Amino acid sequence: MKKVVGIIGGMGPLATVDLMNKIIQRTPANKDQDHIHVIADNYTQIPDRTTAILGKGANPAPYIEQSARRLEEAGADFLVIACNTAHFFYKSADHAVSIPILHMPQETAVFLKKNHINKVGLLATSGTLNTNLYQRSCESYSIEVLEPDSAMQETVMQGIYAIKGGDLEKGHQNLLAAAKELLQEGAEAIIAGCTEIPLVLSSSSNMHIIDPTEILADMVIETSLGLEERVQA
């Protein structure tokens, strides 16, 4: 029997749909019944994660815990969080339920290790950067992480919120400029460390974009089908 996955979503809605779409597209299936049972809680009322981490907004942890419990009660065997920055509150969610929760930054670090990437650029919200979620995960595998300077980080944030507001063109222009700067500094690849970023940036002949949502989707499939394979730090 396939395990049922629950998605703590709504952060934002497009990112939640993107994760679901990637799970569907990447699942080996010939008919409906071959696909994974997915329960998604598109809980858009969860307060802004970056604002909270910077000490300027409501705490989203109780909302995330509520979503986790709701999904467990609905029958999920394991959970994922469809938002990078929300992993700052991972422990709160993990303590709220008795089922496991996959950790997107950690799964991304495992992927980088498997693919021999030793220096990576990180595009993410200021909240994610300040939490060191990716930095700590990569450090455990001896992977160096490059970040935008303060001025370029403003451009990154403007791009991310443009995407949330539906202005994909502005989002693309801002994030592409930041990615190119990190590549010039020696990054071998760019982590799209916000779930909105892969909506406007993708790999090309001169830019390797690491999509944590895609990595998480693969781990959902492997976990559901019982195919997990780990790499040691």
Q: Report the alpha-carbon distance of residue 225 to residue 2 in Å, rounded.
A: 5
φ, ψ for residue 146, nearest 5 deg: -100, 135
φ, ψ for residue 196, nearest 5 deg: -80, -30
Half-sphere exposure of 20 toward its Cβ, with a 13 Å CA cutoff? 17
Task: Show which residues are catalytic.
Answer: 83, 194
Q: By the 8 A CB rule, do 163 and 171 touch?
A: yes
Tokens (6 digits) for 71 = 């999904």
Residue at token pair 């779930």 = 195
Strands (E), 75-200: 78-81, 119-123, 144-146, 189-192
Q: By the 8 A CB rule, do 223 and 27 touch?
A: no
Q: Report the alpha-carbon distance of residue 179 to residue 165 in Å, rounded.
A: 21
Of 177, 213, 200, the residue nearest 7 (C-alpha) = 213
Q: Report the alpha-carbon distance of residue 197 to residue 28 in Å, rounded.
A: 26
Tokens (6 digits) for 98 = 């008795």
Q: Report the alpha-carbon distance of residue 66 to residue 47 in Å, rounded.
A: 13
Tokens (6 digits) for 60 = 């989203």
